Structure 1
Amino acid sequence: METATETTDIAEASARPLRFAIIGAGMAGILSAIKLIEAGLTDFTVYEKADRVGGTWRENTYPGVACDVPSHLYSYSFDLNPEWSHLFAPGSEIQTYFERVADKHDLDRYIRFGDEVLRCEFDGGRWHLETASGHTDTVDVVIAATGVLHHPRYPDIEGLNTFAGDAFHSARWDHDVPLIGRRVGVIGTGSTAVQIVSAIVGEVGHLTLFQRTAQWILPQVNPAYSDAEKAAFRADPGQLVQLHDSLSQLFEESFANAVVDADSPQIKMIEKACLDNLENNVTDPELREALRPDYRAACKRLVISEDFYQAIQQPNAELVTAPIERIEPGGVRTADGVLHELDVLVLATGFQVDAFMRPMKVIGRNGAVLEKVWADRPVAYLAISIPDFPNLFMLNGPNGPVGNFSLIEVAELQFRYIMQLVELLRTRRAREVSATHEALDEWEAAREEAAKHTVWVTGCRSWYLDDRGIPAVWPWTFSRFREEMAAPKLEAFELVE
């Protein structure tokens, strides 16, 4: 009689060897590499267009950069960090954390740095890759860990290139440009602009913030962890696990579930906190009204800051609400005719959040071109799989949980799901795996219907909304996301044997 061990050995002996390509060495790419190694699937290459790991945190080095998710939650569950300096750590610490994790797992030997993937084509049951250096690769599985916040969006403003001073996007911060005593203008009022204003107002000569849309500001203190607390975390890793899990539960039960139900008690509490923050901390009535949004709190991505209102009320700070007419060599001309003279212009104008794998050319089964498939807008079943693009899986893909959860927690759950699909390939139950068109259509219809009940559709313009005004994010609770990620519904996938 054959034993269970013998059966397992036979199955392993007949297992299909798989080669992988991971595109991107940011948070999700690092995660993917580590998890493949843990699974014994070490035949892979990570393709990274930059010269080091880090993704968003490598790209964004502007003054004040930080994550708006608590750091002990914005950490890999398998590599919690006892050294976070604050509840919300600065971006440089987050970048160092990712570099440390990559070094710990010796990932450099798997990564091709400075070699952007330009083309992926599915042919003969495998993916064929071409990079900017002319390198080619043939793999069985592609994991797209390309991220969301890495293609800067530049504003369409007349005369932008005529500015005679120093000008740059916040994600391309020029640290060689001095700020002390100079006249600095910031275009934008999202989280990035708010962080920059708070960080630099104390050193610049004059700061001008050009506001198109006012933002609700959720007050949030950012206490430092004491040496004793960090020592306790180092001595007892169980404390770190408990803290991570408690933050996850708190985040889910408060903010995460609040935004997907516009009538929830939690969203009412958030609205009150934002309103009280404005009313109690902005003394000048005209400035207070200029800073008052005309939409509900959390309709746009909520901005978290403990000191923005204090910063914008400094004597050397100015809020400009008149529309920008054009940029001139000397500064910014607004529609009221005023020229705001500047030495430095910062474009805190966000990212092309719908790019995902693009501009990489991706060609799937039977010549399906991703750019054409996504001509209207990017879609993927459960934000992971695209019909007609077999054995290609996305982390933090289109319409996923980007607006209300920790993206690390999201990516970990998604990768476990993906590995269950990979197992179908490895054990030869299928040669090709991709979502069906029917499954994607049904999921999209359900997602669009659920989105009608979220706070994101209560009357604002935001980068969450697609071309139809429908939030391009996960519209259900996080518990629903965990349930969906527990195991693939195989009837939703086309399995080619």
Structure 2
Amino acid sequence: MNMSVSGKDLQPTGAWTTEGRQPRIAIIGAGFSGIGALIKLRQQGYTDLTCFEKAGEIGGTWRDNHYPGLSCDVPSHFYSYSFALNPDWKHRFSYGPEILAYMNQVADKYGAKQDIRFNCGVTDLTYLGPQWQLTTEQGDVERFDLVIAATGVLVNPAYPDIPGLDSFAGEQWHSARWRDDVPLKGKRVGIIGTGSTACQIVGAIAGDVGHLDVFQRTPHWITSMPQKQYSATWRFLLRRVPGLQLAIRNFMRWLMEHTFARATLGDEKQQKRVQDACLAFLKEQIPDPELRARVTPDYKATCKRMIMCSDYYPALQQDNVELVTERIDAVVPEGVKTGDGKVHELDILLLATGFHVSDFILPTRVTGENGLELSAFWREAPRAHRALTFPGFPNFFMLEGPTGVFGNTSLIDISEHQIDCVIAILDKMKRDQVAVVAPKQEAYEAYNQAMSRDIGKSTWATGGCDSWYLDATGTPNIYPWLPQQYREDMLNPDFSEYRFEPLKVAV
């Protein structure tokens, strides 16, 4: 059977390095990481690229999320591509529509969309050395020399396990599946969750709804978002002064990571400074000591991802807003029933309850060497070698993979450095004419043992909270060192940690 699309031969017969052809590279996902991979690979001469995107347009989490108040809490000049600095950001912290527009502008400028198959999700990946066999939702089957998963982590919504959730008689939806067709004005609205998304939504809708119940299980540490609208003069200077944009980007990166990363990774003085700043902001924003006590966490700041939001505390003090700290017993047709027996009657119930962040590429079925499935490899908890590769899964890379650099930093910046590492590995494969690359088992184990040892020193492990950084074993599934160390590791990969092998066909 000849499986082909647009006349392309979809069955490479051997190793690309020895056949003198371009490697066929599949990229899964067209968010910031996937678009970045398309552009940077093509810039380095790798041009046989196909990106599979399950939706009808690019954007990833910035396409799927469009709730009121949506914004990024990483400064705009840092939350952008290093190769596509944008002098025209309108705000210090950009709102969702502007971020999505920027991504489209960059994709159009570099012609990235020509390599994307839209409405084409991937259901299966099977390693048939040295290629990967890829199956789409439409049933098409193709082979690729390398696969790069750029599927992100804020993808699959997490719904709360509350009795009677489906019994609610009003309208109900998750924040990541926002209903633009249902007006909130004058309605009785409830929102479950008080994380970053909930804070943004509450601040945005409190002035429009008739009444708003905010159901809080755990309070969060919140610091102000020093939002600023950039003037036309400032944007003019960014366009005309050489090096100014890059200097601002580097300063923003240093400021974010010096403030939050060091506070998380064992710098007790910095952690105390962050917590004291949050307490001062809270006291300034909420004069009422009773309400202030109810929103003060009993764990250390930076144990969870820090929230930057200036609209949430003022919204809680509006006459039409009630903070509910009683536990939720059930959802009933009329609304939400809490532990004190009260039924909070609602017209609309919003779920700002986060994502299944440990899914990564799942539910796509990924089968590596000797029939090993990625879901089985991750049975105890998702792990990776340097948040990028996996032993037993050759020629397979995952951007923003398990044990990666998350927290209060720019994932665009991190994924760019991962792409640079992938390119360095490809270049070595080409130079040495090898067909297969994968991390060595011993390197993977040593790396993860070092991570497990050092993560125990962080406030993610010692801060006394339950966060989405924790895996099923209760261990923080996150990079335990400074982001700058990770960047250096990506820019200078240690090839001795990988096995590079000539062609071995195992079909």
TM bin, normalised by shorter chain, reads over 0.9
Deviation, structure 1 residue 126: 0.2
| TM-score, reference length from structure 2 | 0.93
Cα distance in 2 for residues equivalent to 1:220 and 1:165: 34
Cα distance in 1 for residues equivalent to 2:320 and 2:489: 51
| TM-score, reference length from structure 1 | 0.95
Runs of 4+ in 1 over 6 A off after TM superposition: none
**Kept after mapping to 2: 8 A contact 1:379/1:399:** yes
Equivalent residue of 1:71, what SS?
coil
Instruction: Using the TM superposition, name which of 188-197 and 225-234 deviates more.
Output: 225-234
- The answer to whether structure 1 residue 224 and structure 2 residue 225 are counterparts is no
- The answer to whether structure 1 residue 373 and structure 2 residue 377 are counterparts is yes
Residues 57-92 of structure 1: CA deviation (Å, up to 9, x unaligned)? 001100011111101100001001112111111111
Partner of 2:175: 170
Paired AA for residue 457 in structure 2: H
What does residue range 269-288 of structure 1 map to in structure 2 within 5 Å?
269-288=273-292
Equivalent residue of 1:332, what SS?
strand
Partner of 2:4: none
Paired AA for residue 372 in structure 1: A
- The answer to whether structure 1 residue 266 and structure 2 residue 274 are counterparts is no
Partner of 1:6: none
Cα distance in 1 for residues equivalent to 2:486 and 2:498: 18
Partner of 1:206: 211
Residues 452-488 of structure 1: CA deviation (Å, up to 9, x unaligned)? 1111121000001112222111110122212211222
Equivalent residue of 2:290, what SS?
helix
- The answer to whether structure 1 residue 142 and structure 2 residue 147 are counterparts is yes
Instruction: Using the TM superposition, name which of 230-239 and 340-349 deviates more.
Output: 230-239
Paired AA for residue 248 in structure 1: R
Cα distance in 2 for residues equivalent to 1:246 and 1:277: 24
Paired AA for residue 448 in structure 1: S
Paired AA for residue 487 in structure 2: R
Alignment match of 1:401 (pick from 399, 405, 419) = 405
Alignment match of 2:474 (pick from 455, 465, 469) = 469
- The answer to whether structure 1 residue 329 and structure 2 residue 333 are counterparts is yes
Cα distance in 2 for residues equivalent to 1:136 and 1:99: 29
- The answer to whether structure 1 residue 101 and structure 2 residue 106 are counterparts is yes
Paired AA for residue 421 in structure 1: I
Equivalent residue of 1:297, what SS?
coil
What does residue range 175-254 of structure 1 map to in structure 2 within 5 Å?
175-236=180-241, 238-254=243-259
Alignment match of 1:37 (pick from 38, 42, 46) = 42
Partner of 1:80: 85
Deviation, structure 1 residue 262: 4.8
**Kept after mapping to 2: 8 A contact 1:16/1:425:** no
Paired AA for residue 461 in structure 1: D
Residues 87-131 of structure 1: CA deviation (Å, up to 9, x unaligned)? 111111111111111111122211011110000011031001000
Compared with structure 1, are the counterparts of its residues 115 and 428 closer, same or farther at alpha carbon in structure 2 (3 Å cutoff)? same
Partner of 1:90: 95
Cα distance in 2 for residues equivalent to 1:307 and 1:472: 30
- The answer to whether structure 1 residue 388 and structure 2 residue 392 are counterparts is yes
Alignment match of 2:423 (pick from 405, 419, 424) = 419
Equivalent residue of 1:137, what SS?
strand
Cα distance in 1 for residues equivalent to 2:191 and 2:408: 26
Give 5+ residue unaligned stretches, structure 1.
1-11
Partner of 2:14: none
Deviation, structure 1 residue 279: 2.0
**Kept after mapping to 1: 8 A contact 2:199/2:311:** no
Deviation, structure 1 residue 423: 1.5
Residues 17-49 of structure 1: CA deviation (Å, up to 9, x unaligned)? 211000000010000000111012110100001
Equivalent residue of 1:345, what SS?
strand
- The answer to whether structure 1 residue 492 and structure 2 residue 493 are counterparts is no
Equivalent residue of 2:445, what SS?
helix
Deviation, structure 1 residue 138: 0.8
**Kept after mapping to 2: 8 A contact 1:184/1:206:** yes
**Kept after mapping to 2: 8 A contact 1:212/1:321:** yes
Instruction: Using the TM superposition, name which of 224-233 and 109-118 deviates more.
Output: 224-233
Cα distance in 2 for residues equivalent to 1:13 and 1:138: 17
Partner of 2:456: 452
Partner of 2:309: 305
Deviation, structure 1 residue 306: 1.4
What does residue range 44-55 of structure 1 map to in structure 2 within 5 Å?
44-55=49-60
Equivalent residue of 1:318, what SS?
strand
Cα distance in 1 for residues equivalent to 2:160 and 2:216: 13
Instruction: Using the TM superposition, name which of 38-47 and 229-238 deviates more.
Output: 229-238
Alignment match of 1:133 (pick from 121, 134, 138) = 138
Partner of 1:118: 123
Deviation, structure 1 residue 254: 2.2
**How many residues in Structure 1 have an aligned counterpart in Structure 2?**
485
Equivalent residue of 1:231, what SS?
helix
Deviation, structure 1 residue 250: 2.0
Deviation, structure 1 residue 252: 2.6
Paired AA for residue 89 in structure 2: W
- Residue identity over aligned pairs, in percent, reads 46
Cα distance in 2 for residues equivalent to 1:118 and 1:422: 25
Paired AA for residue 430 in structure 1: V
Instruction: Using the TM superposition, name which of 364-373 and 481-490 deviates more.
Output: 481-490
Equivalent residue of 1:371, what SS?
helix
Equivalent residue of 1:207, what SS?
strand
Cα distance in 2 for residues equivalent to 1:431 and 1:484: 23
Equivalent residue of 1:118, what SS?
strand
Give 5+ residue unaligned stretches, structure 2.
1-16, 503-507
Cα distance in 2 for residues equivalent to 1:405 and 1:70: 9
Equivalent residue of 1:427, what SS?
helix
Deviation, structure 1 residue 409: 0.9
Paired AA for residue 488 in structure 2: E
What does residue range 332-343 of structure 1 map to in structure 2 within 5 Å?
332-343=336-347
Deviation, structure 1 residue 405: 2.1
Instruction: Using the TM superposition, name which of 26-35 and 244-253 deviates more.
Output: 244-253
Cα distance in 2 for residues equivalent to 1:365 and 1:262: 42
Cα distance in 2 for residues equivalent to 1:210 and 1:359: 31
Equivalent residue of 1:199, what SS?
helix
Deviation, structure 1 residue 257: 2.3
Deviation, structure 1 residue 259: 1.4
